């Protein structure tokens, strides 16, 4: 197992924490000089914050830890391909390297829909590695959404008039 696989396992642990809290399971960590300096997992529902994506939380914490907004010596590991907001944020933070797990064909802005991290028109480019532990990173999302759909169906069966539980409102896609 290479270092990237090892660190992606750490990001996956954070994704599982998100699932435990009813959040779309995406996890992230920031590594600097071989050390995990910050982590985060998706908290959008809990915080009702549209910017509370895993990698954004992790990078914000890393900047706080380093006392600098420039993360030039850092590698960010995230279980799902970053969205346009987060891909832009990684460029702005001057992150050196990005490693992600599962691709996101619906919102991915690093390789799938856009290539924001490697656009020569921007003033900073990241080295990107994709597909590390992709199966595991994707599976945790699939299982999460499957469980939600199942819960919704059983709600329908009971003609339940109560508002949907928090998990039932989660948008698909992180």
Binding status of residue 83 toward Zn ion by CB under 5 A: yes
Q: Which is nearer to Zn ion, 37 or 83 (CB)?
A: 83
Helical segments of 22-128, H only: 44-47, 54-66, 84-92
The nearest distance, CB 151 to Zn ion, in angstroms, is: 25
* Distance (Å, whole) CA 101 – CA 169: 25
Q: Assess 86 for contact with Zn ion (CB under 5 A).
A: yes
Catalytic residues: 55
Check residue 44 for interaction with Zn ion (CB under 5 A). no
Q: Which is nearer to Zn ion, 32 or 85 (CB)?
A: 85
CB 172 to Zn ion: min, Å? 14
Of 50-58, 109-117, 146-154, 155-163, the window that binds Zn ion (rule: CB under 5 A) is 50-58
String marking each residue 9-38 x if it binds Zn ion according to CB under 5 A: ------------------------------
Is residue 117 within 8 Å of residue 89, measured between CB atoms? no
Q: Residues 117, 118, 120, 126: what is their CA dihedral angle, to the nearest 10 degrees?
A: 70
For position 53 contacting Zn ion by CB under 5 A, the verdict is yes
Do 96 and 72 touch, CB atoms closer than 8 A? yes
Which phi and psi (to 5°) does residue 131 adopt?
85, 10
Phi, psi of 99 (to 5 degrees): -125, 125
Stretch that binds Zn ion, among 39-47, 83-91, 140-148, 161-169 (CB under 5 A): 83-91
Q: Which stretch binds Zn ion (CB under 5 A): 36-44, 86-94, 134-142, 147-155?
A: 86-94
Contacts of 153 (CB under 8 A, 6+ apart): none
Residues that bind Zn ion (CB under 5 A): 53, 83, 85-86
């Amino acid at each position: 197992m290479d270092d990237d696989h090892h660190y992606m396992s750490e990001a996956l642990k954070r994704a599982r924490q998100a699932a435990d809290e009813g959040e779309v399971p995406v996890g992230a960590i920031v590594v600097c000089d071989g050390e995990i300096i910050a982590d985060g997992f998706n908290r959008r529902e809990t915080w009702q914050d549209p910017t509370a994506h895993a990698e954004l939380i992790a990078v914000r914490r890393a900047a706080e830890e380093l006392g600098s907004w420039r993360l030039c010596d850092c590698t960010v590991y995230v279980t799902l391909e970053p969205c346009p907001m987060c891909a832009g944020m990684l460029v702005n933070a001057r992150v050196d390297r990005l490693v992600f797990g599962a691709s996101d064909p619906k919102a991915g802005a690093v390789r799938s829909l856009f290539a924001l991290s490697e656009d020569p028109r921007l003033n900073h480019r990241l080295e990107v590695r994709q597909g590390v532990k992709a199966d595991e990173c994707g599976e945790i999302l699939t299982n999460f959404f499957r469980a939600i759909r199942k819960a919704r169906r059983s709600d329908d069966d009971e003609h339940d008039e109560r508002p949907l539980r928090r998990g039932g409102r989660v948008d698909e896609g992180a």
